[in-house]
Every structure is written in structure tokens, then in C-alpha cells.
Structure 1
Amino acid sequence: MQNLSRHISFPRLLILGASSVIGSSWIYTNGIFFEKYGAGGEIFGFVLATFITILASLSFAELSSIFPRSGGPVVYSYLAFGQKWAFATGWAILGAYLSALSFYVTASSMLLATIFPQMSAGPGYTIAGAHVSLIELAVGVAFTLFIFSLNIRGTKLTAGVQAILFIGLLILGSALVVTGFTQGSPANFWPAFSAGSQPFANVVRFVLPAMTFLTGWEVVTILAEEAAMPPKKIGKAVVGAILLAAGYYIIVLLASAWVYPWHKTATFPMGSITAFTKAGFPLLGTAAYLIAFLGLFTSFIGLFTAAPRLILSLARAGLLPPKFAEISVKRNTPINATILVLAFAIGFGWLGKGAMTYFLDLGGFFVAMAWAITAMALRRTRRDYPTLDGGFRLRHLWPSTLGGLLAVIIAVSTLYPKSPVALAWPTEYIMLAVWIGLGLLFYWLGRSNHQEKDQALHHLLGETEYQRLKKKA
């Protein structure tokens, strides 16, 4: 099967990973989360989620240096556990990415509606208590088609666009941070929890949505086949992307709680955007708005780039129809897989902004499962191929195993109705069942294409990596 070309440098791969994590909603939904969990619940919840994420990422980092192939986790889980687990892993991460992409379809118009409120008026429909006008939907679909048009031109273009947008995010974020900490006061942040609340419980409750906000660094491993660098640097880019994105989240959110009393920000529908304006810095309110818009672009582009590569790898292994493994000769892009992602994003995106929390929660469940499976895959790979070494090798496996275990606990907790991170009944359970049902349908329909393990690994790994694996067997 045709391979994707290697042309992404280390800085651009790092930026692709970090910018895919930094989305848009976090900068204005912090008003909602401040009200629900307190500023401390969101900010310290981010810290805890970052710790779990880094532990979970260590298995991805080592395996991506050993197997720098498109689809990353699909490859690792197929080698370790076979086709069923490989499909489950790929479908889980795809579900997380499509959850975010579906939200972004109408998030773009929601941001524009703060400037042009007439967009929200007119005929439409209501889902989860939120009205979606037909104009908003049309704008969101047009925005999605624009992102699609960028992606079908290949990662060389999208990586360049991401780099420019990420520099913009850094400049705007620095302005908020410097002003927030020099002009604000710790009294605006502390006490960080509402009176009578349960601080620890609030921190834990925010971990699930925080893990969804932190989703996207897996892009580094999914795009590994297109990375032009020594394999060990891919592992470093995995961890570096998380640290860069999580640090950005935490320090900007803390600055917004520093510059204006967080309990007042908790009453604002646009969170930090309004907080900086109310604090007397309207230009920085605009800067926060631009961060939301740039973050929407970067995350949308990054996840839209990675999702087709997951589909590509599943098709290479015969777990999806072979047409999704086809690569455009002209663009060196999995064109059919990219079209399928477009169909999924628009197909779910019409649910609108009222489904935002649903998408966040489901995304957290999906990534937790994928992280856990990949941690187990590393242990199995170390056992079966003890001498495989791509340059990024963990001295001990317990940190990555702990990350996988914590991810499992979080994922299972979402299914327990009385858990503080439980999915919302019945809507989120129905959405989860629909995605699992679609996965089972695709798996069943594609059973005639399922391959023997050796053949599938040959297609997943490519000739060079496959021969290296056989020598180590």
C-alpha cells in the first residue's frame, strides 16, 4: 500500500500537537465551569488532568518512536491484541475527535453571533435547550467545508497554517497573562471555591471535561508517518505538546481569575472574554475573543487532519473498506477518509451548541479508553519484543501503567450513575450507544475485508518496519 510522505519537522509536529489541543470553548465556558466547580475546581482540575494525561502519554511516546506509522494507537493495539482491540482503539479516538469536530460546526457561528447577534435569530430548531438558527448552521457548515478544503491539500499546508495561528495564540495569551497578573489581585482568585462546596470533589468532577479539553496531542502519533525526524523525537513531541498546551490553559485561566473576581465571571456567558472587558481592558477582552477564534481554527484543523489518518490505518488493516486506505497521488492525502470525516462532522454537528457538554463528556470517555488500551499495548509489546527500541524508551513501565489505570477508573466511573463524573442520563448514554452501535455495524459490514494478522501488520507498518519487526520476533 502507498505510504504518506515525510515532510513535517519537529517544531511543526510539536505545534501541530499543542495547537490541536488548544481549542476555543475553554476561554469562554470557564464562566459556566467557575459557577459549577469554582475557579479552583477548574484550574486545579486541569492540573490533575494534566498529570494523568502525561502518565497516559508515555506509552504513546515510546510506541510512536518504535512504530512511526499513520494511525499510531491503531497500529500499537493491533500488534499487541489483534483486530478487535485495534478497531476499538481507533473507533474510540475517532469518537473523541468527532465529538470535538461536531461541536466546532456550530461553535464557529456561536462566536460570530457575539458580534452579529442577528445570526442567532430567525427560523431554526432547539436541542438541549439551545436554539440553533438555520443561519448559524449554514455558517458552521461553510466553515467546516473550508477546513475540509485545507486538509485535502495535505499536511504540508495545514502544518504551515497551524504554525502561524499558534504564534498568534502565544502573542495574545502573553498579553492576557502579563496584564492579568500585574493588574489583578490574588483576592480575586482566593478563596478558589464557593462557600459550602466540596473542593476535592469539584476538582475530580472537572477531570473528565478537562481530559477532553486536553485531547488532541495524540495527533503527534497519528501523523508519525509524515514526520521527518529521528523516531525518538516523535516521543519527545508527544509529551512536549501536552506540557505546552496544558501550561497555556492553566496560566491563561489563572490570569483571568486574577484580573477579575471569579465568582462574578461565573455569571458571564462568555467567561474570560467578558471578565477582561469588565476589569477595564476591553482590548484584552477582544484578545480573549480572538484566542477563542484562533483556537477554534487550530483545533478544528488539527483534529480534522488526524481523524482521516485513523480511518486510513483501520482500512489498511482491513477493518474498514479498502477504499478508505486510498491516498491521493497528487496531494498525498487519504482523500476518501477525509470525505468520511466531513460527513460525520456535519452529520453530528447539527445537534448544535446545546450539545456542547454532551460532546465534552463523551470525548473524555473515549480518550480515557484509548489511553488505557495503549498503556496495556506497551506492556504486551515489551513482553513480546523486548529488544525493540525506537530511541524513546521508558526506564520503568509503572508510570505509563498508572496512567492507563487512572484512565480506566475515570472511564468506568462515567458509566456509574452515582459517580461525580457520570454521564448525563439519558442523552449521553444514548449518544454513546449510537457511536458504539455504528462501530459494531462498520466492523460487521467490513468482516469480509478482515485480514490475517501478518498481512494486516505488513500493511499497517510498511515494508521496512514490518521486516524489522520480523527480525525481532
Structure 2
Amino acid sequence: MITLARKLRVVDYFTLGWGTMVGVGWLVIMDDWLLRGGPLGGVLGFAIGGALLLPIGYVYGQLVTAMPDAAGEVAYTAKVFPRSISFATGWMMVLAYFIVCPWEAVAVGKIASYIFPSLDSMELYRIAGRPVYLPHVIIGLGLTGLLTWLNYRGIRLSAVFQNWTTFGTLGLFMVFVAVGVSKGSPRNFPPLFTHSGFVSVLLVIQIVPYYMTGFESVVKGAEESRPEFRSGGFFKAIWMAILVGILFYTIVIAAVGYVAPWRELTGERFMTAVAFERAVGARWIVSVILAAALLSLFKVFNGNLVAASRMVFAMGRRGLVDARVGQVHAQNQTPSVAVICMGLGTAACMFLGDAILVPISNVGSLASAAGWLAACAAYYQMAPTLRQRLVAALGALVGLLMILMKVVPFVPGHFIPYEWLALGIWVALGALAARRATS
């Protein structure tokens, strides 16, 4: 029987977890984050929201150590829940990973056009009043094709790419933050909150699941660890991804609020770059930020493509969806059919253009939280000690609260009709996929 290639080390799992988590939201929609909470609301929102994920990270570390299965949440829930729950959990996690891919395919065109404004030409059509340009589409399709090919060819190629782009992003991040902060002032911070303190923090916490989704992608690659790999490495990679993610987001939000009067810049395109350029008074800092953003985009796109394809592959192998996606390439030892399906799906969805960017984050938040809730609930049933069950219960409660924040109508930032529509379409597609697999 052909199995997935076993090539990954601890550092590879860290770059998969953190690299899948942090994309380009810190550049593309920083204004949305600050308008939600202000500098202090944003920092507290990501710090609190990230800390709430630590018990969930603990649960995932325990589960992947006991069951190193690419199916992740599907495998865990299958141990204690009916098949329907296992399928629903897996289908939601596929959404959480897959939906990031067209997001990044669209974002790369936006970043490229900031560098080369002439790319904002040859408008094809508009969606929700936002134009879709031909050069943007070509760039997005090119990147999608490249990453699909990379993952089709082998996990080692994908891991090397992930490592270089992850550490490149972190290196450039440290450079532009250090330079920018040296020119900033605390006088730029006010207003610290955009609403009341509680509402400001709450509005930011609501989007944390989407922007912190990725640490659990470590478990999707569990079957591809090197033969000498020690299971404790999974735990280390997951916790490092969460902690470095919290630090990254809180630092970049605080830095943008510190380097320039942020309230004046919320209407600017790529507010982060504009704020640092104003503080430093030189264009080169923008080039550094855009280079960091492009590297970050490449790694988060690649990481989510890895996670989504492994999830679909594992569901196909279990007969939850079409069994053909559960095939392993004889030579490359990759889930080749699943990789191609995710690549084609990304290419199709990116034609929705810029209109998908903000609504997609809310749908992704709910999908991630649903998967976390299910994994923690499964571990609660399996945990041998009271302490472990309490941690699992806390993780499940966090997941449930994050879901309720999106679906309860009177909570600020709840789902709007377009987001319900997107979720409904995905559920309907899941029902069709399950029915096809059964028949």
C-alpha cells in the first residue's frame, strides 16, 4: 500500500502551523481591525483571543500524539461520535482551510498593484461594486498553479518553500517594526478604543479564530513526519505557533498605532505601509513591508493548501467523500487528486474578486471554532484524568462561545445575510458530497 512520504521535522511543523496562521491581514485589512477595536482594543482582542486558544492547543497536542492521523478532527470525533458528526466536523475544517486559498490568490493581485499601479486596468466585471481586473486574475491564477504543482510534486518541496517564506517573513517583520517604532510616538495611540472597551475587544475577539486558524494544521501532516520523529514534537510545534502568532499580531497592531496617527489613515489602502512610510519619511520601508507581505502570503497560501488537501484526502480515504480524492500518487507520495481539487477550487473561487475578502473571514471564524469545539468534545470523552477533562471542557466552551458570537443576532459583529448565504452554500455542497459518497 502506498503511503504519504515521511519527510517532516519539528521546524517544518512549526512553519506549517504558524505559516498557515499568519497571512496578510495585517497589511490588507489593518484598518478593519483598528476600526473594530482601536490600538488597545486590537492588542487586547488578539492577546485574549489567542490565550483562549491555548487549552485548545493542549487538546490537539494530546490527540495528535495518541492518533497521528491526517484526518485530524475527523479521526478524533469518529472515536466517540456518530459518522454524521465526524463528517460535519471535517467538512467545516475543510472550509476553514480552503477558504483562505482564494483569499490569498485575490490579495496577491492587490499587493502587486500597489507596487505597479498599472495592474489596476482591464476591468472584467464588478462584484458588490468592486472591480475585478484581468492582471489581478492572471497573477492569482499563476500563484495558484505554482503552489498546486509544488504540493503535487512532494511534501519536502512544499516544506522547504514554507520554511524559507516563514523565516523570511519574520526577519523582515523585525526590521520594519524596529525602524518604524524608533520614529513613532505614544501621542499617536488615542483613541485607544473605537467603541466601549468591552465592545471594542469583543469585536476583535470575534475575528481571532480566523486569523489564528492554522496551529491545528500541524495534525493534518501527522502521517508525514520523519521515521525518527518524536511525538512530543507535535505538541511543541502547536504551542510555538500559537505563542508566536499572539506576539506577531499584538506587536504589529501596537506598532501601527504607535508610528502614526492611525485614525487619519483608516481610509488609506494598505494602512500599515502608509503608517510606516509616514513615520520614517522614506519609500524603502514600504518595499520592506510589501516584501514581507508577499512572503507571508505565499506561506499562508501554501500552508492552507497543504492542510485542506490532507483533510479532503483523509475524508476520501474514510469514504466520507468521493473515494478518488483519497488516492496517493505512486511516485510523489502525495494526495495528488485532493491537491488538484483544492487548486481548481481556489482558481474558481478567486473570480469572486475583492468582494470575498471581509465576509470570508467571518465564515472562516465560525468554521474553525466548530472544528475546535468538536475536537475538544471528543477529547473530553476520551481523557483519562479529571485535569485533562477540565482542560477539554474549557477548550470546548471557548469554541462554543466563538460560534455564538457569530450566530446570535444581538451580539455586535454577528453574521449578515451574505455570510449566512456563504455558509448555507457550503453546507449544501457538503450534503451533496456526502450523498455522492454514500451512493
| TM-score bracket for the superposition, by shorter chain length | over 0.9
Q: How many positions carry a matched residue from both structures?
A: 436
Q: CA deviation at 1:176?
A: 2.2
Question: Does the residue aligned with 1:350 lie in a helix, a strand or coil?
Answer: helix
Could you tell me how far apart the structure 2 residues matched to 1:14 and 1:161 are?
A: 13
Question: Does the residue aligned with 1:419 lie in a helix, a strand or coil?
Answer: coil
Q: How does 1:343-358 map to 2 (within 5 A)?
A: 343-358=344-359
Q: Which amino acid aligns with 1:204?
A: L
Quick check: 1:21–1:216 contact (8 Å CA) kept in 2? yes
Quick check: 2:380–2:388 contact (8 Å CA) kept in 1? no
Quick check: 2:14–2:241 contact (8 Å CA) kept in 1? yes
| Counterpart for residue 390 of structure 2 | 398
| Counterpart for residue 166 of structure 2 | 166
Question: Does the residue aligned with 1:8 lie in a helix, a strand or coil?
Answer: coil
Q: CA deviation at 1:190?
A: 4.0
Quick check: 1:64–1:234 contact (8 Å CA) kept in 2? yes
Could you tell me how far apart the structure 2 residues matched to 1:354 and 1:166 are?
A: 27
Q: Which amino acid aligns with 2:34?
A: F
Cα distance change of structure 1 residues 182 and 146 upon mapping to structure 2, 3 Å threshold: same
Could you tell me how far apart the structure 2 residues matched to 1:161 and 1:292 are?
A: 15
Q: CA deviation at 1:394?
A: 9.5
Question: Over aligned residues, Cα RMSD in angstroms?
Answer: 1.7
TM-score normalised by L of structure 1: 0.88
Gap runs ≥5 in structure 1: 387-392, 449-473
Could you tell me how far apart the structure 2 residues matched to 1:396 and 1:327 are?
A: 36
Percent identical: 27
Per-residue CA distance 1:328-351 (angstroms, 9 max, x = gap):
111110011111111221222211
Q: How does 1:450-465 map to 2 (within 5 A)?
A: none
Per-residue CA distance 1:431-471 (angstroms, 9 max, x = gap):
110000000111111114xxxxxxxxxxxxxxxxxxxxxxx
Quick check: 1:24–1:294 contact (8 Å CA) kept in 2? no
Could you tell me how far apart the structure 1 residues matched to 2:49 and 2:244 are?
A: 14
Per-residue CA distance 1:272-311 (angstroms, 9 max, x = gap):
1111111124322221111211111000000111111101
Could you tell me how far apart the structure 2 residues matched to 1:99 and 1:327 are?
A: 23
Per-residue CA distance 1:142-165 (angstroms, 9 max, x = gap):
211111111111110111111111
Could you tell me how far apart the structure 2 residues matched to 1:248 and 1:168 are?
A: 14
Per-residue CA distance 1:180-227 (angstroms, 9 max, x = gap):
333322222244124xx2121011112222221111112101101112
Q: Which amino acid aligns with 2:438?
A: R
Could you tell me how far apart the structure 1 residues matched to 2:173 and 2:57 are?
A: 25
Q: How does 1:346-385 map to 2 (within 5 A)?
A: 346-382=347-383
Q: State whether structure 2 residue 173 is matched by structure 1 residue 181.
A: no
Q: CA deviation at 1:35?
A: 2.9
Q: State whether structure 2 residue 125 is matched by structure 1 residue 125.
A: yes
Name which of structure 1's ranges 433-442 and 200-209 shifts more when overlaid on structure 2: 200-209
Quick check: 1:18–1:217 contact (8 Å CA) kept in 2? yes
| Counterpart for residue 330 of structure 1 | 331
Gap runs ≥5 in structure 2: none
Could you tell me how far apart the structure 1 residues matched to 2:101 and 2:44 are?
A: 26
Could you tell me how far apart the structure 2 residues matched to 1:99 and 1:147 are?
A: 15
| Counterpart for residue 409 of structure 1 | 401
Could you tell me how far apart the structure 1 residues matched to 2:425 and 2:388 are?
A: 39
Quick check: 1:81–1:377 contact (8 Å CA) kept in 2? yes
Q: How does 1:107-118 map to 2 (within 5 A)?
A: 107-118=107-118
Could you tell me how far apart the structure 2 residues matched to 1:87 and 1:112 are?
A: 38
Name which of structure 1's ranges 411-420 and 223-232 shifts more when overlaid on structure 2: 411-420
Could you tell me how far apart the structure 1 residues matched to 2:148 and 2:372 are?
A: 27
Per-residue CA distance 1:208-260 (angstroms, 9 max, x = gap):
22221111112101101112211122122111111112212221222222211
Could you tell me how far apart the structure 1 residues matched to 2:307 and 2:369 are?
A: 18
| Counterpart for residue 98 of structure 1 | 98
| Counterpart for residue 246 of structure 2 | 246
Q: State whether structure 2 residue 292 is matched by structure 1 residue 294.
A: no
Quick check: 1:365–1:410 contact (8 Å CA) kept in 2? yes
Cα distance change of structure 1 residues 122 and 394 upon mapping to structure 2, 3 Å threshold: farther
Quick check: 1:71–1:223 contact (8 Å CA) kept in 2? no
TM-score normalised by L of structure 2: 0.95
Could you tell me how far apart the structure 1 residues matched to 2:258 and 2:389 are?
A: 39
Q: CA deviation at 1:319?
A: 0.5
Per-residue CA distance 1:92-124 (angstroms, 9 max, x = gap):
111111221121121111111112222222231
Quick check: 1:176–1:252 contact (8 Å CA) kept in 2? no
Q: State whether structure 2 residue 434 is matched by structure 1 residue 443.
A: yes
Q: CA deviation at 1:33?
A: 2.4
Quick check: 2:22–2:245 contact (8 Å CA) kept in 1? yes
Q: CA deviation at 1:395?
A: 4.7
Q: CA deviation at 1:67?
A: 0.8
